[in-house]
Amino acid sequence: MLIGISPLISPDLLAVLHRMGHGDEIVLADAHFPGETYGQRVLRADGLKIADLLDAILPLFVLDTYVESPLIMMAVVAGDQLDPAVEVSYRLTIDKYWPNTPPIQRINRFDFYDRAKQAFAVLMTSETAKYGNIILKKGVTPIIDNEGIWPISNIHE
């Protein structure tokens, strides 16, 4: 345990978040996602839901401000149904930490799989909502000033 870091963040996840560079992506994958098939580095967060993990990760993780959208989710497959409450719950947490983040981009299933193959890591969760996967693209972590304060206002918007 560490002060200021959620107990939902495992030591392995903390190490991965730290080792990621700007532009690297992490997939927060639902329980249905074929993470072992597509992920080059797979972590487990069994028993945890993605919205809770977003609330634990986003205080530590700057989203990329130099791309159209640093947040990617899978688009619904024709003939299937999407529960809009999933994205709404994610967005509430995202906006809590990074309120100026652009809308979540939706891409088709196979493009999402290709993106997961290139991701720095895939974090397998116990999320059971269909289309619950989300990709986070890391931005440039701000430098802490002499008072130990992040100059959030200086982050590129």
CA distance 13 to 58: 13
CA distance 21 to 128: 29
Please check whether residue 103 lies inside any domain of the structure.
yes
Please check whether residue 13 lies inside any domain of the structure.
no
pLDDT on residue 157: 46
Q: In the chain, what percentage of residues exceed pLDDT 90?
A: 87
Please check whether residue 149 lies inside any domain of the structure.
no
Please check whether residue 65 lies inside any domain of the structure.
yes
Closest CA to 32 of 138, 150, 125: 125
Overall pTM surpassing 0.75 (yes/no): yes
pLDDT in tens, 42-82: 999 999 999 999 999 999 999 999 999 999 999 999 999 99
Please check whether residue 11 lies inside any domain of the structure.
no
User: Of 18, 22, 32, 156, which one is the catalytic site residue?
Assistant: 22
Residue 154 φ then ψ, to 5°: -90, -5
pLDDT on residue 142: 82
In the β-sheet with 25-29, what is the strand arrangement from edge to edge?
42-45, 121-125, 25-29, 134-137, 71-74, 105-107
Indicate if 22 belongs to the active site: yes
The H or E element that residue 53 is part of is: helix 50-57
Task: Give the total number of structural domains in the chain.
Answer: 1
Please check whether residue 16 lies inside any domain of the structure.
no
pLDDT in tens, 132-143: 999 999 999 887
> In CATH, what number is assigned to the domain containing residue 126?
3.40.1650.10
Which one-letter amino acid corresponds to residue 156?
Answer: H
Please check whether residue 2 lies inside any domain of the structure.
no
Query: CA angle at residue 83 from 6 to 42, to 5 degrees?
Result: 45
Please check whether residue 19 lies inside any domain of the structure.
no
User: What is the domain extent for residue 80?
Assistant: 24-141
